[in-house]
């Protein structure tokens, strides 16, 4: 996705795609087996809500980007709450009937499947960063206020990718898009675009050449760091 031709081109990232799964039945069965039917009944609403949130973002949606952002944020919080209570893994004593499958955002034919909530959380974080970036492109960057709002969205996108970079722990079975290298590159890209919006506003407000030069230099550094981050991380792994 790109901004209008009236302004410098900026980029946003497409979301990762997934496949349908049912969380309700495996989680409920786990509660009944390890605790009781009464406990499962007490958690019925929570289980239904979690499963519904998963179903809502599985489908292609016509909802607004802000609604999509809110859904991803709420689902991520729900996953964090569920993580300590519902162990999902191949272990026979865990919930081993749930397999999360996600396609690479850049090479859709590639995919990763894991019986691990870590993959699910990483994919949701990636999509949250992507949606924040897409929101950034919706603002009118020909105005000071539009550039300010776009900058805030790009910063939020960078924050999601930075958190993904710092928390990714899925080993070799993940796709490249949610790797440390990719997340770091996308973080720098979004920071560069945010800073570019600040630079454009600095010029529009008539700031001194010294201030403009300083901010311009930071824009360039962020853009330079995006590919460099990938190269440096790959070199460390050799």
Lowest-pLDDT choice from 24-28, 56-60, 120-124, 198-202: 56-60
**What structural domains does the chain harbor?**
17-235 (1.25.40.280)
Looking at residue 170, what is its pLDDT? 56
The pTM of the full predicted model, rounded to 2 decimals, is: 0.91
DSSP designation for 15: P
The whole-angstrom separation of Cα 151 and Cα 197 is 6
Q: What is the pLDDT of residue 13?
A: 94
Check residue 225 and give its pLDDT. 86
With beta carbons less than 8 A apart as the criterion, state whether 114 and 107 touch: no
Contacts of 30 (CB under 8 A, 6+ apart): 86, 95
Residue 232, CA atoms < 13 Å, CB-side half-sphere: 8
């Amino acid at each position: 996705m790109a901004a209008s031709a009236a302004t410098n081109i900026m980029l946003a990232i497409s979301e990762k795609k997934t496949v349908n799964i049912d969380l309700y039945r495996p989680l409920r069965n786990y509660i009944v087996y390890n605790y009781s039917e009464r406990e499962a009944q007490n958690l019925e609403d929570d289980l239904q809500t979690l499963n519904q949130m998963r179903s809502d973002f599985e489908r292609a949606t016509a909802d607004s980007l802000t609604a999509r952002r809110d859904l991803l944020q709420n689902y991520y919080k729900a996953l964090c709450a569920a993580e300590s209570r519902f162990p999902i893994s191949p272990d026979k004593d865990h919930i081993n009937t749930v397999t999360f499958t996600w396609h690479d955002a850049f090479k859709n034919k590639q995919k990763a499947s894991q019986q691990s909530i870590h993959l699910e959380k990483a994919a949701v974080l990636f999509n949250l960063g992507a949606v924040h970036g897409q929101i950034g492109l919706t603002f009118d960057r020909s105005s000071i206020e539009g550039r300010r709002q776009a900058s805030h969205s790009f910063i939020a996108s960078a924050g999601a990718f930075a958190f993904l970079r710092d928390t990714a722990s899925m080993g070799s079975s993940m796709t490249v898009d949610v790797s440390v290298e990719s997340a770091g590159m996308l973080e720098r890209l979004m920071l560069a675009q945010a800073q570019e919006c600040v630079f454009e506003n600095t010029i529009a407000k008539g700031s001194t050449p010294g201030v403009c030069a300083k901010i311009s230099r930071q824009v360039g550094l962020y853009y330079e760091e995006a590919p460099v981050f990938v190269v440096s991380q790959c070199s460390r792994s050799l």
